Chains A and B, each alone.
Chain A
Amino acid sequence: MAAVMRALPTEEATDAAIIEQSLREPETFAAIFDRYYALIHGYAARRLGASLADDVAAETFLIAFDGRTKYELSRPDARPWLYGIASNLISRHHRAEVRQYRALARTGVDEATEGHADRVAVRLDAQAHRGRLAEALAEIPDADRDVLLLVAWAELTSEKAGEALGIPAGTARSRLHRARKRIRAALGRTDPTTTREDR
């Protein structure tokens, strides 16, 4: 077993196995970076824009590396842990985040995360939604928004989102519930139909 663990992590190795190996061989932790850097960067970029995302994503992995000795090795998937670290870093920028949502609510154009060229293909209905959604996101309390976006954008379950944020599953569920009520209200208020063209 020891011999197997000393081998370089393979595609199939669980995150937990890699992290365990990194306790003895720190450089192994690069495999965690290689798996999830783009994912964490993308999540941060949606919430903060590309330039702050560079810092947040880089720092997430440094903090994760320093904290790997405390990683719960019974959890094979490291994503909730990484998203939790990133969420904490993002919360330091919550004013920038809210500002971005407000700008987006005004213009319907996402200035922060994308080049203009990419938006040519964006459907008008999505843009229409986006302004209203951004407005709601700006108003949702930070703690609730963390859970909501981990579920909607990072695609975690509410239980995993709770794990990521270090809060009980019940708390995560109720925060999600509150946030979704705001989102639904924002969509329902001015949106006569939910019919959309499929991609």
Chain B
Amino acid sequence: MDDLTTLRDAWDRPAPPSAAAHAAARAALLERASARGTAPVARRRLRLPRMGVRLAAVGALAVTIAAGVTVVQNLGGTDKNGHPRPVVPGLPGGSVADAQTVLYKAAERAQGRAFTPPRPGQWSYTETRYTSPGNPEIGAVQTPQSPLKTRVDRLWIRSDGRKIAFYRNGRFTISQPITSQTGSMPPDGYAASAALPRDPDALLALVAKKVPHATEAERQDNTFDILGGLLNKNAVLPPQLEATVYRALAKIPDVTLNREAVDVEGRPALAVSRVIEGWLRQEILLDRKTYALLGERSIAVKDHTGKGDDGSWAIKKGTIGVLSVRLAAGIVDKPGQRP
């Protein structure tokens, strides 16, 4: 065997570029060609509002899910008694040491939990309620008074990550087999997730490598975001890996704790958070007693102006980015089943 052929065959054929990257690259070229744009090349990167970042980072599967979920237009600015739903109050930032203590505790609890790994062919099921003002339109101003939309995602992911199922417009849909993913992060499916490293430093290094970042702060932001997504996306993780995720979170700088948080259901929660991009506090909500994941929440801690390729939008301090509540999670034999 010729050495060049061996070298060629030893690497897998690269996965095709993502549709988003392709479209962005082509649009940038056409803009250049039409001589309208004169911005320097390096600044031509597509900027997504924060809510979109994780979707952009996690790849095609997540995009499919985002496009396919049942969207319930439930203008949720008020509670069931008609009172305005209180915006999440500004939370006092706790100390970093406190956050680490809680995360280590969460890791310990995770390791002690009874666990049966899903068999091949089984499905992970998560049911999550998202409440959000949505991705801002160009020119929009979002405030704490902006109407919120609620949607419930019911999502099944087969263990091998190759098939997903969800409800779309009230109809149950199973995806075509998903072929290549461009190394999405968090990975799709239990098998790929379970293959992640059990060492916190190795996990952090892997996430940093997978997720584009221009600055150290952005690297930490994305890492926090992705680790939260890893917990949120998987009905179950191997206990040792779940513990590793908490220990990795504890190593991210400027992660703080609020012991007095409540989730959107009013359940008491421990909130472990990091202020992302200098303006958005991203929180991972854990049960105060069991340290189980309750959900996630993000809120603007100062006024923010976002810029896209074709315009800008404003988000006022106190505006909720997204509230997510895990309603159910477990392993089932078939898509469509509930645990």
Q: Which residues of A contact B (CB under 8 A)?
A: 22, 26-27, 29-30, 33-34, 37-38, 41-43, 45-46, 49-55, 57-59, 61-63, 65-66, 99-100, 103, 110-120, 122, 126-127, 129-130, 133, 148, 151-153, 155, 180, 183-184, 187, 194, 196
A59 and B28 alpha carbons, distance in the complex (Å): 9
Pick the contact of B183 from A37, A46, A113, A151 — CB < 8 Å?
A113
Whether A115 lies near B7 (C-beta < 8 A) is no
- Known interface pairs A26-B33, A115-B187, A153-B11. Does A61 touch B25 (Cβ–Cβ under 8 Å)? yes
Q: Which residues of B contact A66 (CB under 8 A)?
A: 32
Let me know if B74 is at the binding interface, CB within 8 A: no
Whether B14 lies near A117 (C-beta < 8 A) is no
Q: Which residue, of B12, B15, B206, has the highest number of chain A Cβ atoms within 10 A? A: B12
Whether B161 lies near A117 (C-beta < 8 A) is yes
Pick the contact of B187 from A37, A38, A43, A116 — CB < 8 Å?
A116
Pick the contact of B6 from A27, A41, A118, A133 — CB < 8 Å?
A133
Whether B8 lies near A152 (C-beta < 8 A) is yes
Let me know if B67 is at the binding interface, CB within 8 A: no
Within 8 A of A (CB), among B27-51: 28-30, 32-35, 41-42, 44-45
Whether B29 lies near A30 (C-beta < 8 A) is yes
Q: Which residues of A contact B1 (CB under 8 A)?
A: 194, 196
Let me know if B3 is at the binding interface, CB within 8 A: yes
Nearest A-chain residue to B60, judged by Cβ: A115
Interface size class of B (residues with CB under 8 A): 35 or more
A129 and B33 alpha carbons, distance in the complex (Å): 44
Whether A153 lies near B8 (C-beta < 8 A) is yes
Kindly provide the distance from the CB of B222 to the nearest chain A CB, expressed in whole angstroms. Answer: 11
A180 and B5 alpha carbons, distance in the complex (Å): 11
Let me know if B175 is at the binding interface, CB within 8 A: no
Within 8 A of A (CB), among B145-202: 160-162, 178-184, 187-189, 191-192, 195
Q: Which residues of B contact A34 (CB under 8 A)?
A: 26
Q: Which residue, of B16, B24, B29, B181, has the highest number of chain A Cβ atoms within 10 A? A: B29
A38 and B19 alpha carbons, distance in the complex (Å): 11
Whether A54 lies near B3 (C-beta < 8 A) is no
Whether A46 lies near B14 (C-beta < 8 A) is yes
Q: Which residue, of B15, B17, B32, B41, has the highest number of chain A Cβ atoms within 10 A? A: B17
Q: Which residues of A contact B187 (CB under 8 A)?
A: 115-116
Let me know if B18 is at the binding interface, CB within 8 A: yes
Whether B6 lies near A45 (C-beta < 8 A) is no
Nearest B-chain residue to A115, judged by Cβ: B181
- Known interface pairs A30-B30, A51-B212, A116-B191. Does A42 touch B13 (Cβ–Cβ under 8 Å)? yes
Kindly provide the distance from the CB of A118 to the nearest chain B CB, expressed in whole angstroms. Answer: 5
Pick the contact of B192 from A58, A117, A133 — CB < 8 Å?
A117
Q: Which residues of B contact A111 (CB under 8 A)?
A: 183, 206, 209-210
Kindly provide the distance from the CB of B44 to the nearest chain A CB, expressed in whole angstroms. Answer: 8
Whether B209 lies near A49 (C-beta < 8 A) is yes
Let me know if B10 is at the binding interface, CB within 8 A: yes
Q: Which residues of A contact B211 (CB under 8 A)?
A: 51
The 9 closest A-B pairs by CB, nearest first: A58-B25, A115-B181, A116-B192, A26-B33, A42-B14, A54-B21, A50-B182, A45-B14, A41-B17
Let me know if B310 is at the binding interface, CB within 8 A: no
Whether B30 lies near A58 (C-beta < 8 A) is no
Whether A55 lies near B45 (C-beta < 8 A) is yes
A58 and B26 alpha carbons, distance in the complex (Å): 8
Within 8 A of A (CB), among B204-232: 206, 209-212
Whether B29 lies near A116 (C-beta < 8 A) is no
Pick the contact of A117 from B17, B44, B160 — CB < 8 Å?
B160
Kindly provide the distance from the CB of B28 to the nearest chain A CB, expressed in whole angstroms. Answer: 6
A184 and B1 alpha carbons, distance in the complex (Å): 11
Pick the contact of A37 from B12, B17, B33, B192 — CB < 8 Å?
B17
Whether A63 lies near B183 (C-beta < 8 A) is no
Known A126-B10, A153-B7, A187-B6; 7 more pairs at CB < 8 Å:
A42-B14, A45-B15, A45-B182, A49-B209, A58-B28, A113-B14, A183-B3
- Known interface pairs A49-B183, A152-B8. Does A37 touch B3 (Cβ–Cβ under 8 Å)? no
Pull 28 A–B residue pairs with CB atoms less than 8 Å apart, ordered by A.
A26-B34, A30-B33, A41-B17, A42-B17, A45-B182, A50-B17, A50-B183, A51-B210, A57-B21, A58-B21, A58-B24, A58-B25, A63-B41, A65-B32, A66-B32, A113-B11, A114-B183, A115-B181, A115-B182, A117-B191, A118-B15, A118-B180, A126-B9, A152-B4, A152-B8, A180-B3, A180-B4, A184-B3
